[in-house]
Structure 1
Amino acid sequence: MTEIFGFSLPLLTLVLLCGLFLVFCYQMYFYCRYINGIIRYRNKIRKGKVTFLDEKPGVSIIICSKNEADKLKEFLPAILEQDYPNFEVIVVNDGSTDETDMLLIDLLKKYPRLRTTFVPMEATNLSTKKLGISLGIKAAKNDFLLFTDADCQPKSQDWITLMVRNFVPKVEFVLGYGAYFHRKGLLNRLINYDTFFIALQYMGMAVAGKPYMGVGRNLAYRKTTFLHHNGFSESLGLISGDDDLFVNKTATKNNTRVEISPESITFSEPKTTWKSWYSQKARHLSVSPSYTWQSKLILFMEPFTRGLFYLICLVLLLQGNWLLSLTVVAIFLIRYLTQLFIVNRTAKHFKERRFVLLLLIFDIFLPFITLSIFITGNASRKKNKKW
Structure 2
Amino acid sequence: MAITLLVAFLIFSIINILFYIGYFSFSAAKSQNTTATNIPVSVIICAKNEAENLKQFIPNILNQEYSNFEVILINDASSDDTFEVMENFRDIDPRVKLVNVENNEAFWGKKKYALTLGIKKASNPYLLFTDADCVPESNLWIQKMVINFIDEKSIVLGYGGYFKQKLSFLNKLIRFETMLTAIQYFSYSKLGIPYMGVGRNLAYTSAEFYNQNGFATHLHLKSGDDDLFVNQAATKFNTAICFDKDAITRSVPKSDYKSWIQQKRRHITTAKYYKFNHKLLLGTFFLSQLVFWILFIGLLALQFYWPIVLGVFILRLIIQYIVFWKSAKKLDELDLLWAIPVLEFFLILIQIGIFSSNLFSKPTNWK
Smaller-chain TM-score range? Answer: over 0.9
User: Aligned match of 2:10 in 7, 21, 24?
Assistant: 21
Q: Distance in 2 between matches of 1:64 and 1:378?
A: 30
Please tell me the residue identity of whatever aligns with 2:27.
I
Higher mean C-alpha displacement, 339-348 vs 153-162: 339-348
Q: Of 336, 351, 354, which aligns to 1:370?
A: 351
Q: Deviations over 1:337-363 (max 9, x none)?
A: 221221122212222233345211121
Return the TM-score normalized by structure 2. 0.95
Alignment partner of 2:259 out of 259, 270, 276: 276
Deviation (angstroms), 1:175: 0.3
Which runs of structure 2 are paired with 1:99-118 in the superposition (5 Å)?
99-118=81-100
Could you tell me how far 1:82 is from its partner in structure 2? Answer: 0.6
Output the amino acid matched with 1:31: Y
1:84: how far off?
0.5
Q: Could you tell me how far apart the structure 1 residues matched to 2:155 and 2:66 are? A: 20
- Secondary structure of the structure 2 residue equivalent to 1:354: helix
Task: Give, in angstroms, the shift of residue 303 of structure 1.
Answer: 1.3
The amino acid across from 1:143 in the alignment is P
How does 1:50-129 map onto structure 2 within 5 Å?
50=32, 52-125=34-107, 127-129=109-111
**Superposition deviation, residue 37 in structure 1:** 2.6
- Comparing 226-235 with 115-124, greater Cα deviation is found at 115-124
Indicate which of 130, 140, 150 corresponds to 1:148.
Answer: 130
Q: Deviations 1:127-164 (Å, cap 9, x if unpaired)? A: 42101110011011111100000110000010001000
The one-letter amino acid paired with 1:320 is: Q
Q: Give the structure 2 partner of residue 251 of structure 1.
A: 234
Structure 1 126/287 Cα, relative in aligned 2: closer, same or farther at 3 Å? Answer: farther
In structure 2, give the amino acid aligned to 1:85. Answer: S
CA shift, 1:120, in A, is 2.5
Q: Does 1:180 align with 2:180?
A: no
The counterpart of 1:200, out of the listed 168, 179, 183, is 183
Deviation for aligned residue 1:236: 1.2
Equivalent residue, structure 2, for 1:286: 269
Structure 1 CA distance for aligned equivalents of residues 38 and 360 of structure 2: 41
Amino acid at match of 2:144: L
- Contact 1:158/1:264, CA 8 A, preserved across alignment: yes
CA 1:170/1:13 → structure 2, altered by over 3 Å: closer, same or farther? Answer: same
Q: What's the CA shift for 1:29?
A: 1.3
Q: Return 5+ residue gaps in structure 1 as ranges.
A: 1-11
Q: Does 1:385 align with 2:365?
A: yes
Distance 1:37 1:55 in 2: 27
Deviation at 1:87, TM superposition (A): 0.3
**Equivalent of residue 358 in structure 1, options 339, 349, 352:** 339
- Alignment CA distance shift 1:379-1:114 (3 Å): farther
Q: Please tell me whether residue 31 in structure 1 is matched to residue 20 in structure 2.
A: yes
Alignment of 1:250-329 (within 5 A): 250-321=233-304, 324-329=305-310
The residue correspondences of 1:326-365 to structure 2 (distance < 5 A) are: 326-365=307-346
d(CA) in 1 for partners of 2:19, 2:109: 34
Number of aligned residue pairs: give it.
366
Alignment partner, residue 4 of structure 1: none
Structure 2, unaligned runs of 5 or more: none
> For the aligned residues, what is the CA RMSD?
1.7
What amino acid is aligned across from residue 15 of structure 1 in structure 2?
T
Distance 1:217 1:326 in 2: 45
Deviation at 1:125, TM superposition (A): 2.8
CA distance, structure 1, for counterparts of residue 361 and residue 319 of structure 2: 35
Contact 1:211–1:252 (Cα < 8 Å) also in 2: yes
Distance 2:187 2:362 in 1: 30
TM-score, normalisation: structure 1: 0.90
CA contact (8 A) 2:28 2:326 kept: no
Aligned mates of 1:177, 1:101 — CA distance in 2: 28
How far did 1:319 drift? 4.1
For the residues of structure 1 that align with 2:215 and 2:339, how far apart are their CA atoms? 38
Say which one has the larger Rg.
Answer: 1
